[in-house]
Amino acid sequence: MTTRLRVGVAGAGVFGGYHASKYAAHPDVRLTAVFDIDGARASALASRFSSHAFSDFDIFLAACDAIVIAAPASVHYALACRALEAGKHLFIEKPVTLDVDEADALISLAREKELILQVGHQERYVFAAAGLLARGKAPLKIDSIRCTTASGRCEDVSVALDLMVHDIDLVRQLTGADIASIAAEGSQHALSAELKLTNGTLASLRSSRRTETPERRMTLIYDDGIIEFDFVKREVTNSTPAVLEADFSNDAAPLSFTDPLGFGANVFISCISLGREPIVTGEDGREALRWALEVEEAARLGIIEERAIPERQRA
Quick one: what percent of the chain has pLDDT higher than 70? 92
| AA letter at 109 | L
pLDDT of residue 306: 46
Residue 35 in contact with residue 8, Cβ under 8 Å?
yes
pLDDT of residue 108: 98
Question: CA nearest 204: which of 117, 151, 143, 255?
Answer: 143
d(CA 89, CA 7): 9
CATH 3.30.360.10 intervals, the chain: 123-253+289-313
Direct distance between the N- and C-terminal alpha carbons of the chain, in angstroms, rounded to an integer: 37
d(CA 94, CA 69): 9
Q: What is the mean pLDDT of residues 146-154?
A: 80
d(CA 283, CA 288): 9
- What DSSP string describes 220-259? EEETTEEEEEETTTTEEEE-SS------TTSTT--HHHH-
Instruction: For domain 123-253+289-313, say whether CATH 3.30.360.10 is its number.
Output: yes
> pLDDT tens digit string along 276-286?
999 999 999 99
pLDDT of residue 64: 98
Q: Which CATH number fits domain 5-121+263-281: 3.60.20.10, 3.40.50.720, 3.40.605.10, 3.40.50.12780?
A: 3.40.50.720
Backbone angles phi, psi at 112, to 5 degrees: -60, -40
Which residues contact residue 64 at a Cβ distance below 8 angstroms, ignoring those fewer than 6 apart? 6, 7, 8, 32, 33, 88
> pLDDT tens digit string along 211-268?
888 999 999 999 999 999 998 887 889 999 988 876 666 666 788 888 999 999 999 9
CATH 3.40.50.720 intervals, the chain: 5-121+263-281
